[in-house]
């Protein structure tokens, strides 16, 4: 927006404010006209003042003075602040992954807002209003979440899978599986949200169990959710089998941690001809295998293997830094027990545990 002088046929000069934001010249306002030079200068100043105040615009001359009101007037005329950086960066990634194929503007806003400001739905509404100028009610989000789960979730998963496969050069051979729990600030259970072993330490609050499947480098592949009281060891095979069926995958190498190393899972993996690597605990092995492991004298970063049976072998790796860490934690635990024993509290704790077990 700018002002211009227009000479009329009568010889007078008109001062006009022009807008070209739409690509065409548009007269926003005619300030006035005159043939007297002093009056024309006055009209030019009025035109500039109009431009500065039009649509909340302010002219910052950065002249410091004693008039605090000058600076206050600037803040009073700011009607909205927009956060553009995250949209420019994350929005580009959003499009490159392919999520822009989902023709829901709210989906885009919720995904980007979740990455920048992972809070509750109510606080997300405040964030979108403050920084994006988007006015929503919490029910708008709940209704969209229902629509996403019912109609769009399969498309979201397929876009995510296709992107991961592209990053891996079109080949997927190894999958990593792990489990976590998500608790709810709610007093009661329902058919799905149940109390169980909480990885967040929230054992008195209902939760769900989330099984996540990722590729090498941690790219997400798929997930399933289970009842909150579901034993995590019983979730791995259903998730892997569903993933193979959904995407018509061939044989995969499955990697998981020690919490999923049950005899039932090992047997099922062997029966279905999976290759797998699962973390183990020495204490869970037979006495014979434990003795072989403890008899080893490995140096830092050395590895060896023990044949467990016809199908399984155990790989043992030694790390000095991990050994020092474990020794430090053991000593701390022993020191805490020693202090409790000296204070007489340890006996009380043992009695409480004994009474709890007996009841």
Same-domain check for residues 251 and 176: yes
Same-domain check for residues 196 and 274: yes
Extract the tokens encoding 62: 């950065």
pLDDT tens per residue across span 252-298: 899 998 888 778 888 888 888 888 998 888 888 889 888 998 899 99
230 domain-assigned: yes
Q: What is the reported pLDDT for 200?
A: 84
Please tell me whether residue 241 adopts helix, strand or coil conformation. helix
Q: What is the reported pLDDT for 232?
A: 87
Last residue of a domain, which of 25, 49, 76? 76
- Structural domain tally of the chain? 4
- The pTM for the full model equals 0.65
Same-domain check for residues 184 and 219: yes
DSSP state of 250: -
Same-domain check for residues 274 and 178: yes
Last residue of a domain, which of 76, 106, 125? 76
**Residue written as token pair 């605090």:** 68
Instruction: Write out the residue range of the structural domain in which residue 18 sits.
Output: 2-76
CB 240 within 8 A of CB 177: yes
Extract the tokens encoding 298: 């490995």
Q: What is the reported pLDDT for 2?
A: 80
Q: What's the CA gap between 144 and 106, in Å, rounded?
A: 8
The residue that leads in pLDDT, 353 or 318, is 318
Residue 330: its H or E element? helix 320-343
Q: What's the CA gap between 194 and 203, in Å, rounded?
A: 10
Q: Which of 287, 231, 241 has its CA nearest to residue 262?
A: 231
Using the predicted structure, report yes or no on whether residue 359 has a pLDDT greater than 50: no
Partners of 314 in the β-ladder: 306
pLDDT band at 18; cut points 50, 70, 90: confident
Using the predicted structure, report yes or no on whether residue 153 has a pLDDT greater than 70: yes
Using the predicted structure, report yes or no on whether residue 62 has a pLDDT greater than 90: no
Q: What's the CA gap between 270 and 267, in Å, rounded?
A: 5
pLDDT band at 3; cut points 50, 70, 90: confident
Last residue of a domain, which of 280, 305, 339? 280
CB 37 within 8 A of CB 9: no
Same-domain check for residues 338 and 351: yes
Please tell me whether residue 236 adopts helix, strand or coil conformation. helix
Same-domain check for residues 192 and 274: yes
* CATH number for position 193: 3.30.420.10
């Amino acid at each position: 927006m700018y002002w211009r002088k227009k000479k009329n046929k009568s010889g007078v000069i008109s001062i006009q404010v022009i807008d070209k934001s739409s690509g065409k010249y548009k007269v926003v306002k005619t300030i006035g006209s005159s043939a007297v030079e002093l009056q024309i200068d006055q009209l030019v100043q009025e035109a500039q003042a109009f431009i500065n105040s039009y649509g909340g615009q302010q002219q910052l001359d950065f002249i410091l003075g004693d008039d605090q009101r000058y600076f206050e007037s600037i803040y009073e005329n700011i009607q909205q602040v927009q956060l553009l950086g995250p949209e420019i960066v994350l929005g580009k990634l959003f499009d490159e992954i392919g999520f822009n194929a989902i023709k829901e503007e709210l989906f885009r806003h919720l995904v980007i807002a979740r990455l920048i400001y992972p809070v509750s739905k109510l606080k997300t509404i405040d964030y979108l209003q403050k920084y994006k100028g988007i006015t929503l009610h919490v029910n708008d989000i709940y209704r969209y979440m229902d629509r996403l789960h019912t109609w769009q979730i399969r498309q979201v998963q397929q876009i995510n899978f296709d992107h991961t496969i592209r990053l891996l050069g079109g080949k997927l051979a190894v999958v990593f599986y792990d489990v976590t729990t998500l608790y709810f600030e709610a007093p009661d259970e329902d058919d799905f949200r149940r109390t169980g072993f909480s990885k967040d330490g929230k054992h008195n609050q209902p939760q769900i169990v989330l099984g996540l499947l990722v590729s090498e480098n941690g790219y997400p592949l798929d997930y399933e959710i289970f009842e909150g009281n579901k034993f995590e060891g019983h979730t791995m095979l259903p998730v892997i089998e569903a993933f193979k069926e959904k995407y018509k995958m061939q044989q995969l190498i499955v990697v998981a941690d020690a919490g999923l190393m049950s005899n039932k899972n090992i047997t099922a993996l062997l029966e279905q001809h999976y290759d797998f690597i699962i973390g183990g605990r020495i204490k869970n092995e037979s006495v014979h295998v434990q003795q072989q492991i403890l008899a080893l004298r490995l140096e830092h970063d050395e590895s060896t293997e023990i044949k467990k049976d016809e199908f399984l072998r155990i790989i043992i790796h030694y790390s000095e830094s991990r050994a020092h860490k474990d020794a430090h934690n053991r000593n701390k635990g022993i020191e805490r027990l020693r202090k409790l024993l000296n204070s007489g509290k340890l006996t009380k704790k043992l009695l409480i545990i004994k009474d709890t077990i007996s009841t």
